[in-house]
Structures are given as C-alpha cells and as structure tokens.
Chain A
Amino acid sequence: MAPDRDPPWPRRVPDPLGHSWAVPVGSSTIFVRPPDSDREERFARILAAADRFSDADLLGRCGAGDEDAWRLLVRRYQNLVYSTAREVGLDGDEAADVFQEVWLELQRSIPRIRHPEAIPRWLIVATRRLSYKVATRRRRLVPGISRDLVDPGTLPDAEIEAKTARARIEAALSRLDGKCARLLRLLFLDPANPAYEEISRRTGLAIGSIGPIRSRCLNRLRKILEENS
C-alpha cells in the first residue's frame, strides 16, 4: 500500500479547547502550545467553555500532560474536596494539608484510573482516607474521625450523589451574575432556609420582586445546566 502522505503524520488538529494544538502521535495525543499566546487570558476563555468537557475528557487530557485541563479539573472539584475534609471535623490547617495531598495523589494516580466518570467518588475516598491520616498524625481527637473513613466500602452512594450534584450546581451558579447566584443560593441551597423577609434584607430586593427575578435567574441556571449535561 502506498504511504499515506496527505495529511502528513503527525497531523496537527485544532484542540477544541482552543488553546493549543492536539497532535496525535500513535495511539495517544500530545498538546503543543502556540508560542505567542497569553496564558492567563487564554485560561479565562477556556474556563467559560469548560463545563462542556466531561471529567473523562479532562482526565484524558491531564494524562497527556495538558496543564490547563488539570487546572479545570481542580477548579471543578476544589470545593467538594475541601468541604469533605471540613465535614469530617478537620480544622482549617488540617483541611489545607489534606487538600494538597488529595491533588498530589490524583496527579500520580491518573494512569491508574479506570473509571474517570467516577472521579467525585475517587476524590471523596481519597479525602476521607487522608483526613484520617492527618488527624491521627497530629494525634488530635476529632469526633467525626474513625477508621471507617479509610474503608471505601463505607462511603454511601447518597453522599457521592449529593456532592456531585452540589459541585455541578455550584459550577453553573458561578456562571450567573452575582445577584442571581446570591438569590438562588439563599432560596435553594442555604441550610438555614431563610424566609422571604430575610432574603429581601440580604439581597436588597423588595419582597414582591423576588418572585419574578427568581424565575428569570432559575431559567438561566437551568439553561446552563442543560448545556452542560
């Protein structure tokens, strides 16, 4: 068979993230950055389109050495990891240690991950185990800390589902304007369940205008969530 000369191999194809070139080499892909691009500006642009990339997409890119994909993955789940460490009872310093360790563990585990779609579970399992490790290393008695945290079998599916849903909705809220996001958080996510009077006081909105604004904001949120799913 005649050698395939068109297109030349390796072939440069535009990376859908728009920030670099994806170059297929054999069965894998490497990413080459255009030399004249401005990293921060480019990253902001990617961030806006980021939610369209699945965890598996991002993890695959991280495995190929794409640093921006790595940052997006950390951004997507940073609060899930931090909240989990704080939830088991760690203080801010301890949670900070765990936070660092979890991402380092993910970085070195990437080639081993067989279920990239289950990355929230992976992160919660690592956070719980490392929380136990940090708490016992400091010989501190934390009421929520027990050996159970080390066993992935004790992690309830309901906890993974709730945290994944929360991370997803928070990502969508972060793309709304500040006023909308604040109102929707107070109405739908605040565990204190504030009454309309309180919401009015905290947002500066008249009680009568909360309803129509809420509907508009909710429509926008729903649209973002639908785009991302």
Chain B
Amino acid sequence: MTPAHRHPAPDAWRRWVEDPSAPEAAELEAHLARCESCRALVDGLRLAAPARRVAHWEEAPEDLVRAVFARTAERAPARPARTRPVPYEPLDIRGAAIAGDTGTRIASRSLEGGEIGVFVTPPAAEGTWKIRGKVWLRDEALADTELRLVLAQGEHVLASTTTRSGQDFVLEEVLAPGWQLELHLPTGDVWTLEDPEGE
C-alpha cells in the first residue's frame, strides 16, 4: 500500500474533479487506477461537488429557529379557503394610467358588485412601493364587513391586511412586475387587480 505522503494532495484531486482537463490529469488518472484510497477520496469529492458550489454556508442560530416556531405556532395554519375567482369580463372597466411624473400608476376594476381602485407609487430610489386604494361595494348589507386584501406575487403572499367598503387602505411592499392584489369577499368571490405594468 502506498504510504499517505505519496498520495497526491486533496487539493490536486479537488482541482481535477472540478476541471478534468487540468495539466496534471494524466498523472492523477494513473495514480487513481492503482490507489483505492484516492478513489474513495475522489468519490467523496464528486458527491460533494454540487454542494461545494455554494458561495456561503452558515448555520442558523438555534434561538432564531425557536423564535420562528413560537411565532408561527401563534397563527392558525393557512387553510385553503373556498374561493371563487371573479374573472375579467366585458362588463369590467379596467383602468391603468400614469399620474404626474412621480411614476404613480392608477389601476382599477369596476364590477357588478362594486369597484376597487389603487394608486401605485414606486420608491424614489431604493425601497418599498406604496399601494393606496379603496374598495366600494354596492351591497349595503356588506358595508361594515371586514374584507381581506392579499398582495401576492405568483406563489408568494407578500402581505395580507383587512379593509372595509369605503375605507382607505395602504400597503407598502417591495414589488417586482407582475404582482396581484386580491380582494376576498365574504361570499367567497375574489376580485383580482393586476399590476398595470406587469405581464
């Protein structure tokens, strides 16, 4: 058996695993053919190669993880509510416009049951977008009902808040193009307002 100090250094094997065309490749391959120990090392390097490509790895402090368990346990687990999306129809009036030169955009939907409208103001430089808006429901029986607003981006719920018919609401979030604002009505209907600039 070859003594330990005659094996190529782990670094040499590492370079070779990452780049098999390295100049010392022929020499390494010849060694590998007759050394079981180095074959085991190379197996390990190959196994770990994808994981080694992370730029930074650090363990989350245990107290942080426990704090998450405590905070998430306080909240009811998210259960899919029975919802009925209200699709865009010819009746809808969808509006999108630019207001002034602050970059503020206006978006609104007018449906049979009411209206939802927002001003969307991007940050001056870095930071959060501001979505200010209002919901009007025609059904007076729903005037004092709490309505849920959900700001989502694909599979991410960025924020969730409540409002009432006729009341102003404000959401401040970091947004990428393509967000949706959903109004969940007690009837199960969901009105969706889409980012006027997103596709």
Contacts and interface: CB of A to CB of B under 8 A. Distances in A.
Interface of A: 62-67, 70-71, 74-75, 78-79, 81-83, 86-87, 92, 96, 99-100, 103-105, 107-115, 122, 125-126, 129-130, 132-133, 136-137, 147, 150-152, 158-159, 161-163, 165-166, 168-170, 184, 187-189, 191, 193, 195-196, 207-208, 210-211, 214-215, 218, 221-222, 225
A52 B50 CA distance: 21
A81 B64 CA distance: 12
A2 B65 CA distance: 52
Given A96-B64, A126-B156, A136-B128, A111 B80 contact: yes
Given A63-B79, A82-B59, A71 B69 contact: yes
Secondary structure call for the A interface: helix
B164 interface: no
A100 B176 contact: no
B40 interface: yes
Contacts of B64: 78, 82, 96, 99-100
Interface in B147-192: 152, 154-158, 160, 173-176
B51 A86 contact: no
Given A99-B60, A108-B160, A166-B57, 6 more contacts: A71-B69, A109-B156, A112-B152, A184-B48, A193-B10, A218-B43
Contact of B45 (A62, A111, A188, A210): A188
B59 to A, nearest CB: 5
A74 B175 CA distance: 25
A3 to B, nearest CB: 26
B83 to A, nearest CB: 9
